[in-house]
Chains A and B, each alone.
Chain A
């Protein structure tokens, strides 16, 4: 076989899937919105009939961005099914893997996805616009480059322990497949320290992490912004000031209900992994918040609806009880009847409610004063932010970036707690049964459900945060979170509806998103753009 030359071709784009967002606008307001996941994502089917540990290999390959989060879920699901024993070191190294993946995505998402929209000409008449363009414009912005480069550091720590990032399989039922040395721990500290010096404290906060973490309320945050020039002119300071000036707190509310599975199972509280014991072992808490009150998270309250999904109709069911879906005829966006089936995504519901997953859900759970355990994060800031501002594009984004300081502290603490002479893996006994593993991926609640029968996988279900957020209408015709967040959004220029893009981006769906904006009366497509 000869090596052929001369091929003018662009590489394969390996997208995690396509999402079409169709909105109808009348008199400058979005009146209807539908989200259409345009690709069948049947990774679970690969695992049917395979070795129970297939999920450790297959699921980190589902996504080129959240591979570590899938691994966290896949190993946890097997831990509960096999009733493993986990050494504290294993829980620490899994938490470090999850946290480094999440913290890297904060600057990468903020600069490479979200903030570029703030440099849109729509805001050109605002006083802070020039400064925003100077720092956040795609590629050429002064902070864009530094932030994106800094984002490469934390996952170097993941790779130290996991071998590589993102598609590693170092977390296994019973522990982790690595045995770090003192040199690795020292190196990990050095890498994180560089991240702090290059970006987190210098460019992002303009103050020490300790100072930033003193913020407990919305007024504290406002006072922090104005405390000195360094904080005021930091990228976070600019983001807060520009968001309020540009009005990002005025649109993109969503369903107003939130779900978080929580993550970072504590080294001393989850050595005997069970589904029932999970909530109490979490460092970043789980829960459901309905806009007024909190309730304790129970994965059995989750059901998936398929009445608007291109699968044969079955009653809404919990992932353990769902049959493998049978696909039906799908349609192009143009031919789709949105009263019928219109997406490859299922519609997950918690106690029959659509719920938003993501960083905002997480920080809301961390503000819950009830049932708080000493090892759990308590951070009242977003309880207050929700009272004063509610959910919107600004608060959703603020929640994402707010996590950086705390994650840095946690990673530092966990690195110090590793006992180099301790165990990292305890070989489990394989058995049949059901398992549930969950985490918080950077973009929200992620869970795997497994059922093992006769030593092989009978059923495997993956529910991604994007499924919560981009899901279609449910059996009652109620919209999913992004659909709800778009409705009512005021559009300044129907031929460049940047507001629609900002709402969609604020949810950070793990699909490549194309927005189609139509005139509500004539149905004519006025704008189409990719996010």
Chain B
């Protein structure tokens, strides 16, 4: 059971690349048993509710201030996410980020918290209020969609 979650805001230029990746995967994998495709948008808190029933989680998001050129791809090992999680007891619905939501999910889900979580981050620096991706970031999104397609094909039978 694999959940792919794309994060970001498609009306803030390259910030929307996570949602773009989900759009790319839909034509092939929508309706595939055991595969969940989620356009998470900016609703980090919802991670908590979407994890349930999945053993493998793939997260796609944009990342700023990396110092690398836009379109650079990062694949984070699960340990790195664990290390970066901030334990902030003052939850605020509008500022919660998905890593904090994961940390909270671990508390609530206990033994059923999925242990196979991988994160793909795409470096961006253009988050203006506009619709559409730059070519470099779009290509990076295509590449992540390709990697995830292989990943899904290895585990799930297409309908």
Contact = CB atoms under 8 A, between A and B. Distances in A.
B97 A11 contact: yes
Interface in B103-141: 104, 107-108, 120-121, 129-131, 139-140
Interface in B14-55: 15, 38-39, 41-46, 48-49
B75 A65 contact: no
B63 to A, nearest CB: 6
B71 A58 contact: no
A43 B42 CA distance: 15
Interface residues of B, number: 56
Given A14-B15, A46-B11, A112 B66 contact: no
B94 A512 contact: yes
A333 B75 CA distance: 38
B128 to A, nearest CB: 9
Interface in A295-349: none
Contact of B63 (A1, A6, A7): A7
A12 B41 contact: no
Contacts of B99: 10-11
A145 interface: yes
A164 B38 contact: yes
B66 A138 contact: no
A488 interface: no
B111 to A, nearest CB: 16
A13 B41 CA distance: 12
Given A1-B71, A61-B41, A7 B94 contact: no
Contacts, number: 147
B91 interface: yes
A6 B15 CA distance: 21
Nearest to B124: A12
A513 B147 CA distance: 39
Nearest to A505: B92
Given A61-B41, A64-B44, A3 B74 contact: yes
B154 interface: no
B2 interface: no
Contact of B72 (A4, A6, A109, A148): A4
B107 A139 contact: yes
B75 A3 contact: yes
Nearest to B52: A152
Interface string A123-145: 00000000000000011000001
A113 B45 CA distance: 13
B4 to A, nearest CB: 13
Contact of A11 (B63, B66, B129, B131): B63
A11 B71 CA distance: 16
A1 B89 contact: no
Contact of B84 (A8, A58, A529): A8
B88 to A, nearest CB: 9
A116 interface: yes
Given A1-B71, A7-B74, A152-B49, A61 B11 contact: yes
Given A11-B61, A61-B42, A108-B93, A46 B72 contact: no
A530 interface: yes
B149 interface: no
A65 B73 CA distance: 29
A138 B80 contact: no
A116 B131 contact: no
B97 A65 contact: no
Nearest to A43: B129
Contacts of B1: none
Given A11-B98, A11-B99, A14-B9, A3 B147 contact: yes
| Most central of A8, A64, A67, A108 by chain B CB within 10 Å | A64
Nearest to A105: B93
B9 A61 contact: yes
A116 B139 CA distance: 44
Given A8-B80, A14-B44, A530 B92 contact: yes
7 contacts: A8-B80, A13-B97, A16-B42, A64-B45, A139-B91, A511-B94, A513-B92
4 closest A-B pairs by CB: A64-B42, A152-B49, A167-B41, A64-B43
